[in-house]
Structure 1
Amino acid sequence: MNYLAHIYFSDSCRQVAVGNFIGDFVKGRRYKAYPSGIRKGILLHRQIDHFTDNHPAFKETVELLRPSFGRYSGIMADMYYDYLLASDFDRYGNGRSLDQFARNFYWSVLLYYWWLPKKVKGFIFHFIKTNRLKKYGTLAGLQQSLEIMSVHKSSAINPTLGIEFLAANESQLRNHFDQFMMEALQKFPLRR
């Protein structure tokens, strides 16, 4: 799962959301240096990743992607799952719009800016300014995110192919995602 889904499962707690957001950037036992709420979010991030990587629907998604994306299939699946969550946020948002959800998170990350790892501090203002979380809900916004990844993570990520594949397979991907979300919401229930 990518940024939006991790934040979504943080259950409206600002520190937990920040910890969940930075989870990939805090390695090993370094999480112990953070305040308790952020620590909780970092550990939740790890639990969500473990659950996701071992879930049958997510594994099916990765296998569907493998012929087109090879070793980047997991990354693409994460990005597609954020798109599928964002584009259907009315269903999953518990009465909140994606815009409200995103703005609330941006305030959270600014409130706890001091605790962000250096790498996150390097992109967070661009992330907020371009409203990345909301843009995940459109094909054009997802393509922009993939373009950013192709420049900053790996040039092997092909944004055009990513969008073409999604457009051709969205129904099947959404079926996998809905199955995954049904079980994820049981495993990580929201109290909103």
Structure 2
Amino acid sequence: MERSRSRADELRKVVARVVANDPITFNDGFLGKDVREYCEWVLRKDKWGGAIELFILSQYYGKEIAAFDIQTKRCDVYGQDKGYSDRALLIYDGLHYDALAVAAFDAAPEELDVTMFSRGGREGAAIMQAAEKLVPTHAVRQFTDTANFTLRCGVCQIGLKGEKEAVEHAKATGHTNFAEY
């Protein structure tokens, strides 16, 4: 949104503040955990956000955020009911969101990339169509299916399936070194 990779900590604080100040909208059921616990969680640098955070950041910036999921080929647009005129595009690989950008020209430096688009008109429609075509071009397995990926414990070499089994194994054994195989 601001063409900066160094604002994560500040944006985490924005999200925590919005959630803490609106316990009616962001209640325990909506968050999947206690409001205070969620706020502590979202402030941690080793945690990644998702739909809740994109919803909040869309309102904070007054811009739509269109997030394409490469596994499901679905596009969720946050802020689409607010009448915002600009839109940012993201691509989600199962674990992480990355900004989609249009290069100013071949081999253009990153600082010239266009990351914010008018959501209407020909240009906006053309950029959305290009993004929709890009998503299916990602080869199978370029997303991480955290429920079904296979892991091996680096300590005891046991095979595990999915994040749930890895978390259970870590809790039971204290092992935290896993590799996908």
TM-based fold match above 0.5: no
Greater gyration radius? 2
| Structure with the bigger percentage of helix | 1
Using structure 2 for the length normalisation, give the TM-score.
0.27
**Which structure dedicates a bigger proportion of its chain to strand?**
2
